[in-house]
Amino acid sequence: MKSAKATPTPPDKALVLQRSRDHLFPHRIERMASLGVDLVIGRREAYRFWDLDGREYMDFHLNGGTYSLGHRHPQLLEVLRETLEFADIGNHHFPNPARAELAERLAAATGLQYSVFTPSGAEAIDVAIKSARRYTGRRKIVALEQGYHGRSGLSGAAGDDAAAAWFGSDYPAEFIKVAFNDVEAMDLALAGGDVAAVLMETIPATSGFPIPAPGYLPAVKALCERHGTVYVADEVQTGMGRTGKLWGVDCWSLKPDILVTGKCLSGGLYPVSAAVMSREVGAWLAEDGWGYVSSFGGAEPGCAVGCKALELCADPATLAKVESIAAYLGRGLRDIQTRNAFLVEIRQQGLVMGLKFDAPDGGAQMTAALYQHGIWAMFAGFDPSVLQFKPGLLVDTQYCDEALQRFEDALSAITRRSAGS
């Protein structure tokens, strides 16, 4: 007789928080507590998750789009389970079928040639920077003041100066920062002909998704071409269908020299990210097979899941759904805006959304209020007046209606509170 599977005892939430305070990240626990947030995620399914204490949340953070296809998407789980029946991560010296297939699929999806797989987005950015340096023989990198590219050495140096300097890993002479949407500043930065790469987040996430001015991104690409500089599109957040196109750069008909993707490529199930590059920029791959090696980059289960995630995101039916759901949510939010002036700006490119509020910490206030009303959404780290609002690609109108109601209730709670104070 088959024995029934024992139900695991739910872990004790207070104990998890205490261990995390003691051994993981005390400051993070404190900062979240200051917002009234003490979340420890237990069960999760599609676009909802449940705290260990049983409270249910709608996920409008999605780990930056990692869960764009939902938590534990059944088809992705099936691929992972099937792969684990016969494979492990594989041996990093050799190709494996899933890695080769994903590289071919990414080449077809980008019009580029080679993929280098890494576990994290930050490492894929490192590879992009190194490839551009190798190709051009130059060292300088130009990035946006408003950009975030991860927290490894080179990717960190390409982001917020203070955060890199905190660990003594800033390189101000080599990593030049310019303002977003400023073509003149970019022109000036590239004019010396000594810049290896321009690193562009297509829509800067951590700054609250300010939308590129019409013509800005193509102008930057044209400057790169004029000055022999490699254009790197960081599509870790804006790729995989979130804008309604497979890649954010497709909205501006822009073909980068290197495209970096991650997060959703993993299906949220097995880490995989990629730097996808042109034949020219990736020429080093034909010269030195060991120029980049990673024990876990391109692991077989991650690549197998990646193939399916890419297939689902690139499906024209998915992209059409993104367009219609984005329009639906946009209408709903604009409607709420007519009743509540605290919401001052709705930034939107498909499901890439930033909501600006009428207070320097308005986005952070909304994070806290939404948490009380059963939505998890994070304010923008570089601009806490903005809330990053990240709906899943496959949500339906019923889910949106419920979320819009919770959103309006949270917003009203804030304005009632400030009217009373």
Ligand X SMILES: Cc1ncc(COP(=O)(O)O)c(C=O)c1O
Binding-site member from 99, 133, 138, 149 for ligand X (CB under 6 A): 149
Per residue in 335-365, is it b (16+ CB within 10 Å) or e — as a string? ebbeebebbeebbbbbbbbbbbbebeebbbb
Site string for ligand X, 62-91 (x = CB under 6 A): --x---------------------------
Should residue 262 be labelled a site residue for ligand X when binding is judged by CB under 6 A?
Answer: yes
Distance of closest approach, residue 210 Cβ to ligand X, in angstroms: 13
Distance of closest approach, residue 289 Cβ to ligand X, in angstroms: 25
Should residue 177 be labelled a site residue for ligand X when binding is judged by CB under 6 A?
Answer: no
Should residue 306 be labelled a site residue for ligand X when binding is judged by CB under 6 A?
Answer: no
Should residue 180 be labelled a site residue for ligand X when binding is judged by CB under 6 A?
Answer: no
DSSP state of 348: E
DSSP state of 203: S
Answer for the pair 375, 60: CB distance below 8 angstroms, yes or no: yes
Residues touching ligand X, count (CB under 6 A): 15
Phi first, then psi, for residue 36 (nearest 5°) are 80, 20
Rounded CA gap, 174 and 129, in Å? 11
Should residue 236 be labelled a site residue for ligand X when binding is judged by CB under 6 A?
Answer: yes
Rounded CA gap, 139 and 151, in Å? 19
Residue nearest to ligand X (CB): 121
Q: Where are the alpha helices (DSSP H) in 195-296?
A: 216-227, 284-287
Distance of closest approach, residue 273 Cβ to ligand X, in angstroms: 6
Should residue 202 be labelled a site residue for ligand X when binding is judged by CB under 6 A?
Answer: no
Distance of closest approach, residue 155 Cβ to ligand X, in angstroms: 7
**Which 3-state string (H, E, C) describes 114-141?**
EEEEECCHHHHHHHHHHHHHHHHCCCEE
User: What residue type is assigned to position 81 of the chain?
Assistant: R
Per residue in 300-317, is it b (16+ CB within 10 Å) or e — as a string? bbbbbbbbbbbebbbeee
Should residue 136 be labelled a site residue for ligand X when binding is judged by CB under 6 A?
Answer: no
End-to-end alpha-carbon separation of the chain, Å?
Answer: 66
- Which listed range, 90-98, 115-123, 184-192, 224-232, lies at the site for ligand X (CB under 6 A)? 115-123
Should residue 232 be labelled a site residue for ligand X when binding is judged by CB under 6 A?
Answer: no
Distance of closest approach, residue 404 Cβ to ligand X, in angstroms: 25
Rounded CA gap, 266 and 91, in Å? 19
Note every long-range contact of 42-46, with CB atoms under 8 Å and residues 24 or more positions apart, other chains counting: 42/10, 42/11, 44/71, 44/72, 45/70, 45/71, 45/72, 46/70, 46/71, 46/72, 46/73, 46/392, 46/394
Query: Which residue's CB is nearer to ligand X, number 269 or number 404?
Result: 269
Distance of closest approach, residue 122 Cβ to ligand X, in angstroms: 3
Should residue 240 be labelled a site residue for ligand X when binding is judged by CB under 6 A?
Answer: no
Structure tokens at 289: 């097979």
Site string for ligand X, 116-135 (x = CB under 6 A): ----xxx--x----------
Query: Which residue's CB is nearer to ligand X, number 250 or number 408?
Result: 250
Distance of closest approach, residue 164 Cβ to ligand X, in angstroms: 14
Site string for ligand X, 265-304 (x = CB under 6 A): --------x-------------------------------
Should residue 329 be labelled a site residue for ligand X when binding is judged by CB under 6 A?
Answer: no
Query: Which residue's CB is nearer to ligand X, number 273 or number 349?
Result: 273
Query: Which residue's CB is nearer to ligand X, number 305 or number 369?
Result: 305
Return residues touching ligand X (CB under 6 A).
64, 120-122, 125, 148-150, 201, 205, 234, 236-237, 262, 273
